[in-house]
Amino acid sequence: MFDPTAFDNMKVVIEGLIYDKDLDGEYEIIDRNDYINLSKMDRLFSIQYRKLNIRSKSKTTSCRFSMKTTASDLYNELIKGNTEVGCFIEIEFFFPKTLEIEIIQRSLLLFQNKTAEQYIPCYNIKQSIFDKNIIESSVNIKFQNKMTEEDFDLVEELVHISEIMLQWYDEQILKEI
């Protein structure tokens, strides 16, 4: 039997946290992907979920939590025995409608207050070419530094922050309806 990689260990922690919420009936898992790019040997894991909202029948905000690692990290860990390998974390929120930029800016204060990690936020709005009524909007938060197994507490905190933000975004959307 082989020793799991840091990426595999971190993936199991994230899955456990989110699937526990799914089993408790608090969240619904919408999508899950576990990719290996065979030409580059990069790995990508993502899980997308949303809070179950019994009060509202309308669409709710969803969150995709992603981890990426490279062949270089895999090589350094498995062949060289380096334990300082990790992965890049990305969190993306998908909204059923466009939000005011002030709401997005206020929500990002939570990341600033809870973590010292550097991240790049990006607000995306896509409108259908064929149907002007179809609009998708999202906020993508890319963390600049790799997170390692030593950062399990931080990764767990990021999952918790994403849960708080899902709740907050849904409340903001309900206010605007």
51-66: per-residue pLDDT in tens? 886 555 567 899 999 9
121: tokens are 């936020």
DSSP 150: G
The continuous run of DSSP H or E covering 160 comes out as: helix 152-176
Separation of alpha carbons 51 and 163, rounded Å: 8
pLDDT at 87 over 70: yes
Distance CA 91, CA 121 (A): 9
Full-model pTM: 0.88
Q: Per-residue b/e over 96-114, b at no fewer than 16 CB within 10 Å?
A: beebeeebbeebbeebeee
For position 131, what pLDDT does the model report? 80
- Which pair of structure tokens corresponds to residue 52? 């179950």
Spatial distance between the Cα atoms of 52 and 167, rounded to a whole number of angstroms: 10
Structure confidence by residue, pLDDT tens digits, 99-145: 888 888 888 887 777 777 788 888 888 887 888 777 888 999 999 88
Strands 27-37 and 42-51: antiparallel
Strand 135-143 vs strand 119-127: parallel, antiparallel, or unpaired? Answer: antiparallel
User: CB count, 10 Å around CB of 7?
Assistant: 22
Question: Average pLDDT, whole number, for the chain?
Answer: 86
Tell me how far apart the alpha carbons of residues 167 and 24 are, in angstroms, rounded to a whole number.
16
Give the residue carrying structure tokens 């909202």: 53
Q: How far apart are the first and last CA of the chain?
A: 54
